[in-house]
């Protein structure tokens, strides 16, 4: 009679001075030339970025810009030029979308209208500014116009309360439009325009009147 036993080959790998025992399957794959199936790639630090960093969203920067727009008075000490000189996309988009949401009143078409007016209205202001000799980029205009919708968002709940008082409601609407237009114009209309400032301030003012009309349903 023949008797005996089959033992698993004891194969060890020397990895950095330490011996690690391989399983039979691992050894089989390596011997057949399929060792590449067992290779594990090191994690790339670039793939482990937080989502906000991956999308280039800086919440502190957005919050600071919101404060600069809502409080445009120079005496408050905010560096308001950061809204123009360091434009971003997500902050203005969030403001425009929020303004669109509070403007719904059951008419969903107003959302697309507001976004369209934001994009093409900013393009009009940009082209006019460049024609008048201003050194401004389209991204800067898009950001400033978007952020400056915040005053209209602020007056929205007030209009709901005083909506039955026509005179008070009209005054609040005018205040909101002037607030938004001043905040945008003070950032976009620089000294390079000299005597041509009114040619740029006026269309900015009209643009916010149109935004307000989309909110109130006029």
Q: Give the up-direction half-sphere exposure of residue 58: CA atoms within 13 A in the CB hemisphere.
A: 9
Percentage, residues of the chain above pLDDT 70:
69
Structure tokens, 194: 């000299």
What is the reported pLDDT for 15?
Answer: 47
Instruction: For residue 123, give the H/E element and its range.
Output: helix 109-131
Residues in the chain: 218
Q: Is 58 helix (H, G, I), strand (E, B) or coil?
A: coil
Which segment, 18-22, 72-76, 92-96, is predicted with the most confidence on average?
A: 92-96
Q: Which residue has the higher pLDDT, 168 or 39?
A: 168
> pLDDT tens digits for 149-173?
989 888 888 888 887 788 888 898 8
What is the reported pLDDT for 218?
Answer: 47
Candidates 78, 200, 102; CA nearest to 150 is 102
> pLDDT tens digits for 174-216?
999 999 998 888 888 877 766 777 888 889 999 999 888 887 6
- In angstroms, what CA-CA distances link 128 with 138, 154, 167, 198? 11, 28, 34, 12
What is the reported pLDDT for 120?
Answer: 92
What does the pLDDT average to over 41-52?
Answer: 59
pLDDT at 20 over 60: no
Q: Which residue has the higher pLDDT, 80 or 210?
A: 210
Q: How far apart are CA 213 and CA 118, in angstroms?
A: 14
Q: Is 18 helix (H, G, I), strand (E, B) or coil?
A: strand
Task: pLDDT band for 123, please (50, 70, 90 cuts).
Answer: very high
Q: Which of 8-12, 42-46, 181-185, 197-201 has the lowest mean pLDDT?
A: 8-12
What does the pLDDT average to over 72-76?
Answer: 75
Q: How far apart are CA 206 and CA 194, in angstroms?
A: 21
């Amino acid at each position: 009679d023949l008797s005996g036993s089959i033992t698993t080959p004891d194969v060890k790998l020397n990895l950095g001075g330490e011996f690690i025992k391989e399983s039979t399957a691992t050894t089989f794959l390596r011997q057949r030339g399929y060792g590449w199936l067992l290779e594990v790639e090191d994690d790339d630090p670039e793939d482990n970025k937080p989502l906000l960093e991956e999308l280039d969203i800086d919440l502190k920067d957005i919050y600071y810009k919101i404060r600069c727009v809502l409080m445009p008075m120079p005496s408050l000490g905010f560096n308001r030029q950061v809204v123009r000189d360091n434009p971003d996309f997500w902050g203005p988009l969030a403001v425009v979308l929020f303004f669109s949401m509070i403007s719904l009143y059951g008419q969903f078409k107003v959302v697309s209208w507001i976004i369209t007016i934001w994009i093409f209205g900013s393009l009009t202001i940009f082209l006019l500014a460049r024609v008048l000799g201003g050194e401004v980029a389209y991204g800067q205009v898009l950001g400033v116009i978007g952020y400056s919708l915040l005053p209209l968002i602020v007056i929205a709940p007030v209009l709901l309360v005083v909506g039955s008082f026509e005179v008070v409601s009209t005054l609040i609407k005018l205040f909101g439009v002037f607030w938004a237009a001043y905040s945008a114009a003070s950032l976009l209309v620089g000294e390079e325009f000299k005597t041509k400032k009114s040619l740029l301030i006026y269309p900015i003012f009209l643009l916010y009147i149109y935004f307000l009309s989309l909110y109130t349903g006029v």
